[in-house]
Structure 1
């Protein structure tokens, strides 16, 4: 036994020497983020919570706006009350003029790359020529409440309001802005989130009015004014406030909006008002307030008079609305935290039968799912609008999903519609309430929301075909060439692969955190803590990172560093497996193993051939050439060896004797980190008797050597095979090296046909259409 333990120690010393020869075995993957994060202060604590002196600004709005359905334009006038809760004296205010992103001299067009191909569509050519349309804001006046002009400076998509006198802390300033602009066709090459869609068959317009009024920029403790220019991709940082909005439209239009309708008796017909009242007590199914037949009748006429719809909204960061005579409207009530919320949908006939069946039910489901995991939805309304689009605003969002003209649709259209409704309604939580800066950190709203969307999808249907969330679905992006990758912590405008980077990768990272790194209980508690700490406030990435650690007692700096600040992929190779058995010291067993090994070693090809080619050796022909060793049995157990073994066993404890007789196997496995991103080791051991088990080794195993680690696994059973990451939890980009013995795995490729349909629209054949033909 002394010799056995000497052998084990000798093997370990060889490994240690080998590791030392490689030089430095760890870089900084397990170092704390430290100076990479903003220092905590009285406004934001080291725990990730708002500090005792946390503050944020407020901007209340009273707006009157009129829609011109003949010329596709709006004219508006707004009163802004800006309240300075900061400790700073302000000499000017910054306002966002997002419509100017489409103006003729917009930098959006100037900084966009373009090229000429051998075949160019008219839309591609128009995007190069840009346009001569009269778009962008016309600011008619900026005045104080006495009607006196206030000096302003317009810098493209930003406007500086130079205050008549400095605005001290705790004071407020009121001013008015009068403006107008021409609404653009968002279905054209100009694109964008707001605008109109024209329906040629019935000659009507559907307006999605967002980013439609001059909006206050955010002034914060961590950045001062967020006045970065709007190029079209990076979304918004906005200030909370209360809104009173009067919207004047043709009398036959239906309006949906942020906030609560204040004058339903004036704008709804008696029948619609009665149905609206019924909907407020319908908790199990939507009530149709304006039917498709009624909407189709309205499509054929044109009202000559107007109606003004009045909406109030409290504590929202933005305000959006929609208007059309095409709308079908349905609604149902949802109970959340003892309060009633109205889930509603507006859609044209082009959206049916999908929208009538699904939209409002999906809205209700989303509110319930998100509320359970964060906080009870605090607003009184949540609206989904079918607009061949996908964009979110407080209490209202614009979504896509249209069947073919015959009412059939593909599964892709159905699930695409459900997913986009979940996603856009979910944005009410992130960032409409947990109000992060989308211009700077897209992942804080898109990534967190996509993660929440994934969970809500799975609660809708156990077999839901979620595109983002499962770890293995991010692998194609993680395999991208280095020059196509940026860290998640990258400004919105600087990201090449925006969808994978801002949506899919952070959603995947959070799902891995929940399922594999932290576990659901710890993750869910910490995530809810973050949501509740920062609802109706302005969090930064540091606040999220710190809260997740603070509420779970899990050190995640290595994870944030790798997944959010880095671009390395996961590629861990199951590199080598050595099998050891504990030697019990019995000389009979030792000599028997030695004989087997000797016979195997000496039975090589030359000896095999010589059995036939050499008829007689010298030793066989001449007995006098033999000596003691020619008859000596080297594998015989001597009496001295038997005696020594008995004495050895007598000196052992019962525990030691049981271990020696257990037949325990020891598997020494070496893992190599090829990709660079450190992750836990999830190892499935398959045994010869058909059973299996899984062991989870935390990522900290890499802390002293980030490139290669070796670990011994004691097993009572004999192993037949080993699989690394059997349930595809870590987004490993090369699964071929996750097996022992190695397995050849087929790669898949997909053949698809390019679709030219509008976003979210079904086109061509589908199983539903074929079934109807039978």
Structure 2
């Protein structure tokens, strides 16, 4: 069939604020159509409440005086697999790059969320439940200033500890060291961390395992929100040097790079790893047979110490098991750079392609958005289900096939949001889960020539249908929170639709319906590069996209992010001008609800040909209805709005009009 694309310039467009002549009388369409749409609410100026400043520029980029704190850690841990107790010492070097003198510091104590009286037990109104531990048991907290060590004056409140300094920490580069000795019981089958048994042994997933400094930024000052569970993490950047001592028959898979392989690996494992670094195909490092008899370890010593380093990171985590099968392959990065994709999993897991999935996802994200910065990426199988940390993922050991690929692509995608672009997950979950779900969509499209495309996995189009239709129940639900709701305030049944699905689909609308792929990709890539290893706020993202793409999007941020505004486009009328098909088709379209959108109109001719045109969002800048003429030379069968069903129109029944 013929298909003709018409630009707006080919059409006669008449705003319906002007009186239209119909059957000899004049009708003002805006007066006669019932609609909830109010143009001035969406297109009013001064959307941003704050002006740009020297820290956060008006164009959405870090300002000339932008600063962030630096935190470096040296950690030494011992894991007792009999008592399930992790004991640790840490030396934190805290650098105050802010312009403020600090009289106190705040530290995150996330393990305290497992205490019986933790606030997280009450966050959903249900009271204490589940397993409990004593949380962090601090043996000592000391300060070291200019080489002099003294006991720290501190106070603990739930998952936070305030250290009250004897002297203000100087601004613009002042340093202090915090020395902490502690231990805690690793919870069994915990939500993000824990231990459990498999056929061939025990596995530990160790995360949030050391006291971490709270963020001090130029927006909120100290980030002192307690850890309640749904809102995740907000951390400072620095270098982390950590060592883990545990039974010698266990394999440790940790964030960063193993710096003492000769002390903990067998010569055969070292040789196999060297082969994997030069192989695009997966190479076995520890086979199922070796994992079954626990034979592949370095020595007969009762314990070994695994030593890792990770640079410019906001966190580290590790898995440990005597049951791990271990494989690896090379990751090819832009500019000739290389990294290493690895998977560790028990024999029960159907993870033969895990390393391939991880490698493919990282190569795509690196080529498309920002080069993966770490020397190793690990997928670890366990009970956590799906949890991300810099350079390592804790993924559900039962996942396989398409489900495993989607899980890996999503969790490793978090290394871009929020591990590289360091947003505040505890306040703004959409900048973490939503942005990451968005980039996953296109990873599914390209992996192995679309083997698992399109992405439809519960975080995006959960029922495997059209995303534009599946988001509608959330939009029309009067109880649904908005995207800008604080993470911990979003009820569990709304978490995926509000934090994952809606923001991700919103970026799809921006890319494919509002800005176009080229303009969106340029602006989004610029946002990532400018805010890598920094702490952007929502307005930084909004401003960055507007300036980078060259479009005022305030109407979209208001309607989609700050509100759950609905869209309902309606073809009111379609008829020939002067009853003559050769003079064109006069079409009247109304916006019945509060959200405007650019939209496509498609005309089906009786001869089988089609004509398609797009009207911009400015169609709705003054009016709630518009009448325009489409040139035609023959009779029309019907007119259709949004022919690709790409917009979240809540009533598609009024999107088709049969022409008499």
- Superposition TM-score, scaled by structure 1 size: 0.77
Residues 47 and 554 in structure 2, CA contact (< 8 A), matched pair in contact too: no
Q: Which residue among 275, 278, 282 is the counterpart of 1:281?
A: 278
Q: Which residue number corresponds to residue 137 of structure 2?
A: 138
Taking a change above 3 Å as real, the CA distance of residues 719 and 10 of structure 1, as seen in their structure-2 partners, is closer
Q: Which residue number corresponds to residue 180 of structure 2?
A: 177
Q: What is the 5 A alignment of 1:727-742?
A: 727-741=644-658
Residues 238 and 318 in structure 1, CA contact (< 8 A), matched pair in contact too: yes
- Please report how far the alpha carbon of residue 382 of structure 1 lies from its aligned counterpart in structure 2 after TM superposition: 1.2
Q: Which residue number corresponds to residue 613 of structure 1?
A: none
- Please report how far the alpha carbon of residue 477 of structure 1 lies from its aligned counterpart in structure 2 after TM superposition: 4.0
Residues 402 and 452 in structure 2, CA contact (< 8 A), matched pair in contact too: no
Q: Which residue number corresponds to residue 388 of structure 2?
A: 392
Unaligned runs of 5+ in 2: 1-18
Residues 344 and 382 in structure 1, CA contact (< 8 A), matched pair in contact too: yes
Partner secondary structure for residue 27 of structure 2: helix
Give, in whole Å, the separation in 2 of the partners of 1:50 and 1:486: 30
Give, in whole Å, the separation in 1 of the partners of 2:206 and 2:45: 42
Q: Which residue among 594, 605, 608 is the counterpart of 1:687?
A: 605
- Please report how far the alpha carbon of residue 12 of structure 1 lies from its aligned counterpart in structure 2 after TM superposition: 9.8
Taking a change above 3 Å as real, the CA distance of residues 33 and 278 of structure 1, as seen in their structure-2 partners, is farther
Q: Which residue number corresponds to residue 154 of structure 1?
A: 156
Q: Which residue number corresponds to residue 486 of structure 1?
A: 481
Deviation string 1:164-199 (CA, Å, 9 cap, x unpaired) is 21001111101201111111122xxxx421112223
Q: Which residue number corresponds to residue 435 of structure 1?
A: 422
Residues 73 and 91 in structure 2, CA contact (< 8 A), matched pair in contact too: yes
Q: Bigger relative contact order, structure 1 or 2, given CA contacts below 8 A and separation 6+?
A: 2
Partner secondary structure for residue 271 of structure 1: helix
Taking a change above 3 Å as real, the CA distance of residues 372 and 9 of structure 1, as seen in their structure-2 partners, is same
Work out whether 1:368 is the aligned partner of 2:368.
no
Work out whether 1:333 is the aligned partner of 2:330.
yes
Q: Which residue number corresponds to residue 650 of structure 1?
A: none
Q: Which residue among 472, 477, 492 is the counterpart of 2:466?
A: 472
Partner secondary structure for residue 42 of structure 2: coil
Q: What is the 5 A alignment of 1:382-461?
A: 382-388=377-383, 389-402=385-398, 413-460=400-447, 461=450
Q: What is the 5 A alignment of 1:303-314?
A: 305-314=302-311
Give, in whole Å, the separation in 2 of the partners of 1:674 and 1:109: 44
Taking a change above 3 Å as real, the CA distance of residues 475 and 37 of structure 1, as seen in their structure-2 partners, is farther
Q: What is the 5 A alignment of 1:245-644?
A: 245-282=242-279, 284-298=280-294, 305-336=302-333, 337-352=335-350, 355-356=351-352, 358-388=353-383, 389-402=385-398, 413-460=400-447, 461=450, 464-467=453-456, 468-469=459-460, 472-473=466-467, 475-480=469-474, 482-496=477-491, 497-581=494-578
Give, in whole Å, the separation in 2 of the partners of 1:350 and 1:135: 32
State the superposition RMSD in angstroms.
2.5
Give, in whole Å, the separation in 2 of the partners of 1:475 and 1:153: 51
Work out whether 1:704 is the aligned partner of 2:622.
yes
Q: Which residue number corresponds to residue 667 of structure 1?
A: 585
Residues 401 and 417 in structure 1, CA contact (< 8 A), matched pair in contact too: no
Residues 37 and 542 in structure 1, CA contact (< 8 A), matched pair in contact too: no
Unaligned runs of 5+ in 1: 1-6, 115-127, 404-412, 584-662, 743-774
101-110 or 27-36: bigger deviation: 27-36
Taking a change above 3 Å as real, the CA distance of residues 24 and 213 of structure 1, as seen in their structure-2 partners, is closer
Q: What is the 5 A alignment of 1:192-231?
A: 192-199=191-198, 201-202=199-200, 204-231=201-228
Give, in whole Å, the separation in 1 of the partners of 2:36 and 2:505: 31
Partner secondary structure for residue 419 of structure 2: coil
Q: What is the 5 A alignment of 1:3-82?
A: 14-16=26-28, 19=31, 26-32=38-44, 34=46, 36-82=48-94
Deviation string 1:82-112 (CA, Å, 9 cap, x unpaired) is 0010000001111111111111111121232
Taking a change above 3 Å as real, the CA distance of residues 570 and 35 of structure 1, as seen in their structure-2 partners, is closer
Give, in whole Å, the separation in 1 of the partners of 2:257 and 2:33: 71
Residues 472 and 732 in structure 1, CA contact (< 8 A), matched pair in contact too: no
Give, in whole Å, the separation in 2 of the partners of 1:35 and 1:514: 21
Q: Which residue number corresponds to residue 723 of structure 1?
A: 640
Work out whether 1:87 is the aligned partner of 2:87.
no
Partner secondary structure for residue 148 of structure 1: strand
Give, in whole Å, the separation in 2 of the partners of 1:690 and 1:222: 59
Point out the structure with max Rg over C-alpha. Answer: 1
Give, in whole Å, the separation in 2 of the partners of 1:513 and 1:213: 40
Deviation string 1:499-537 (CA, Å, 9 cap, x unpaired) is 011101111010111111111111111111111111111
Residues 572 and 732 in structure 1, CA contact (< 8 A), matched pair in contact too: yes
Partner secondary structure for residue 74 of structure 1: strand
Deviation string 1:441-466 (CA, Å, 9 cap, x unpaired) is 00001111100000001112255241
Give, in whole Å, the separation in 2 of the partners of 1:58 and 1:8: 65
Residues 468 and 647 in structure 2, CA contact (< 8 A), matched pair in contact too: no
Taking a change above 3 Å as real, the CA distance of residues 381 and 28 of structure 1, as seen in their structure-2 partners, is farther
- Kindly tell me the number of residue pairs found equivalent between the two proteins: 624
Residues 114 and 132 in structure 2, CA contact (< 8 A), matched pair in contact too: no
Give, in whole Å, the separation in 2 of the partners of 1:241 and 1:18: 58
- Please report how far the alpha carbon of residue 712 of structure 1 lies from its aligned counterpart in structure 2 after TM superposition: 2.6
Residues 474 and 504 in structure 1, CA contact (< 8 A), matched pair in contact too: no
Residues 295 and 325 in structure 1, CA contact (< 8 A), matched pair in contact too: yes
Taking a change above 3 Å as real, the CA distance of residues 688 and 82 of structure 1, as seen in their structure-2 partners, is same
Deviation string 1:675-709 (CA, Å, 9 cap, x unpaired) is 42211221111110011122111122111124x33
- Please report how far the alpha carbon of residue 711 of structure 1 lies from its aligned counterpart in structure 2 after TM superposition: 2.7
- Superposition TM-score, scaled by structure 2 size: 0.90
- Please report how far the alpha carbon of residue 665 of structure 1 lies from its aligned counterpart in structure 2 after TM superposition: 3.6
Residues 684 and 724 in structure 1, CA contact (< 8 A), matched pair in contact too: yes
Give, in whole Å, the separation in 2 of the partners of 1:722 and 1:462: 36
- Please report how far the alpha carbon of residue 328 of structure 1 lies from its aligned counterpart in structure 2 after TM superposition: 1.0
Give, in whole Å, the separation in 1 of the partners of 2:33 and 2:274: 78
Q: Which residue number corresponds to residue 3 of structure 2?
A: none
Q: Which residue number corresponds to residue 117 of structure 1?
A: none
- Please report how far the alpha carbon of residue 671 of structure 1 lies from its aligned counterpart in structure 2 after TM superposition: 2.2
Give, in whole Å, the separation in 2 of the partners of 1:254 and 1:9: 80
Taking a change above 3 Å as real, the CA distance of residues 21 and 456 of structure 1, as seen in their structure-2 partners, is closer
- Please report how far the alpha carbon of residue 396 of structure 1 lies from its aligned counterpart in structure 2 after TM superposition: 0.6
Residues 109 and 136 in structure 2, CA contact (< 8 A), matched pair in contact too: yes
Give, in whole Å, the separation in 2 of the partners of 1:225 and 1:570: 39
- Please report how far the alpha carbon of residue 472 of structure 1 lies from its aligned counterpart in structure 2 after TM superposition: 3.2
Residues 61 and 544 in structure 2, CA contact (< 8 A), matched pair in contact too: yes
Residues 441 and 455 in structure 2, CA contact (< 8 A), matched pair in contact too: yes
- Please report how far the alpha carbon of residue 570 of structure 1 lies from its aligned counterpart in structure 2 after TM superposition: 2.3
Partner secondary structure for residue 360 of structure 1: helix
Deviation string 1:577-633 (CA, Å, 9 cap, x unpaired) is 2222477xxxxxxxxxxxxxxxxxxxxxxxxxxxxxxxxxxxxxxxxxxxxxxxxxx
Richer in strand (by share): 2
